């Protein structure tokens, strides 16, 4: 497998090679996940084109994109905005002089993942259908490539029948890969910022629990709020699995 590391995106990686419950593997070089792409060098952009990437699906909110737009020759930008609500919640608390504890900050992150499930199924569905409709390699990302991107990756891998332990392993790789960007993170107590800019099993598990308890499991959630019907799911498997 060729090296897919980029200088300007620390959390860029190929989802290829992950194995599902049936022994099938996700094809290399078809789907990439990343932090934002606004800091890519000319060499990085050339590397993306060499990988054959033709579309970047951007899960950042409107203001996030406006603050750090990007244009990559040969790569079509596809906005799929999900606003970063947890950052705003924490900022509101700090403005009132309330500093959340570590456990309170974790709870805020868990609420954010629950909101992903409850309110943004259609957006994730658009992303999954885009992977079916476009036969060329694609990348999806948010700002840090960890929360909105992590949720999108979890739903994609779940739709491909990858077990949750493997999904979690991929999700937690962010803690090894992502380089924090102080200019983008904003200001706040270090114990709060450290939690906001990492991932924990509790965050993604809160999304899984919401899917299971409120929507009847992943299959029902994919077919319901996400809007990925069975034939589309099979098409996704046919396109991405080997």
Tell me which residues are annotated as active site. 142
The upper half-sphere exposure of residue 220, i.e. CA atoms within 13 Å in the direction of its Cβ, equals 9
**Residue-level length of the chain:** 242
Task: Report how many helices (DSSP H) and strands (DSSP E) the chain contains, helices first.
Answer: 13, 5
CA distance 36 to 10: 9
Torsions phi, psi of 79, nearest 5? -75, 130
Cβ atoms 199, 142 nearer than 8 A: no
The CA-based dihedral angle spanning residues 178, 179, 183, 184, taken in that order and rounded to the nearest 10 degrees: 0
């Amino acid at each position: 497998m060729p090296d897919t590391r980029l200088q300007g995106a620390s959390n860029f990686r190929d989802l290829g090679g992950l194995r599902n419950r049936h022994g099938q593997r996700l094809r290399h070089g078809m789907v990439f996940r990343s932090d934002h792409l606004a800091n890519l060098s000319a060499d990085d952009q050339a590397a993306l084109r060499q990988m054959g990437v033709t579309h970047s699906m951007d899960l950042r909110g409107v203001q996030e994109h406006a603050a750090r737009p990007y244009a990559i020759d040969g790569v079509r930008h596809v906005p799929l905005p999900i606003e970063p609500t947890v950052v705003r919640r924490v900022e509101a608390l700090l403005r009132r002089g309330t500093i959340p504890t570590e456990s309170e900050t974790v709870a805020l992150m868990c609420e954010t993942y629950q909101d992903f499930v409850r309110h943004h199924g259609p957006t994730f569905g658009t992303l999954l259908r885009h992977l079916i409709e476009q036969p060329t390699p694609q990348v999806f990302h948010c700002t840090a490539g960890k929360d909105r991107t992590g949720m999108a990756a979890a739903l994609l891998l779940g739709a491909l029948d990858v077990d949750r332990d493997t999904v979690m392993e991929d999700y937690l790789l962010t803690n090894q890969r992502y380089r924090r960007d102080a200019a983008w993170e904003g200001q706040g107590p270090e114990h709060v910022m450290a939690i906001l800019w990492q991932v924990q099993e509790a965050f993604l598990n809160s999304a899984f629990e919401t899917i299971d308890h409120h929507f009847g499991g992943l299959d029902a959630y994919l077919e319901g709020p996400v809007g990925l019907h069975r034939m589309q799911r099979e098409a996704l498997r046919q396109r991405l699995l080997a």
